[in-house]
Amino acid sequence: MEFIKQLVFFLLIPAVTYGQTVHVDSNRIIYKVTVKVDSVNKERLFARARNAIFNNVKEDSIVIDNKEKGIISAKGSIKLASPYHIIKRVEYILELSVDDGKYEYRIDSVSIKQVERGGKTTRIYSEELLKGLDVTVSGFVPGSGDVEKQLNEIDMNFQKLIALVNADMEKGSVVKRDRFD
């Protein structure tokens, strides 16, 4: 019976490893895609990109706003599920770069800011999260499901953000406020 348990465990390792949906590049969490938009010039796409940033990230967090180069980026954060005594937020940089007939979004510099109420603040960068996932796949670690669960929640939030940004870029929406707070 013990042999069967070990066999099942080793057969499930690849499923767990490849079942993770978070996007990884150079041992960091990065989402990057180029989207083609028919018959829309760079100037109109840049206006849409500004609206998309303002709709989905706080306006006062703009890092780059360069119309000539067609790049706008901002620091964003999304609250994550956590026990009452801890406040967790995933922080990231969302960059939109535009050109005639296409735009590219990039979510990079991902980290988790964890604040204990009345206590210390810690930051966990995406590289550390991914190392935690590697450790959980290679051996039994207490709380190992927490890392994968956290990465899945981050991925779900980023997929939602990407869908909202793509919708704003496609239709050229007006500025709305406070979608993610």
DSSP string for 24-70 = EETTEE-EEEEEE-TT--HHHHHHHHHHHHHHHS-GGGEEEEETTTT
**Domain ranges for the chain:** 27-169
Q: Which residues pair with 90 in a beta bridge?
A: 78, 112
50 band by pLDDT with thresholds 50, 70 and 90: very high
27-169 folds as Alpha-D-Glucose-1,6-Bisphosphate; Chain A, domain 4 (3.30.530)
167: left (phi over 0), alpha (psi -120 to 50) or beta: alpha
| Residue 60 pLDDT | 74
pLDDT digits (tens, 9 = 90+) for 11-29: 444 444 344 456 676 678 8
Rounded to 5 degrees, φ, ψ at 101 are 80, 5
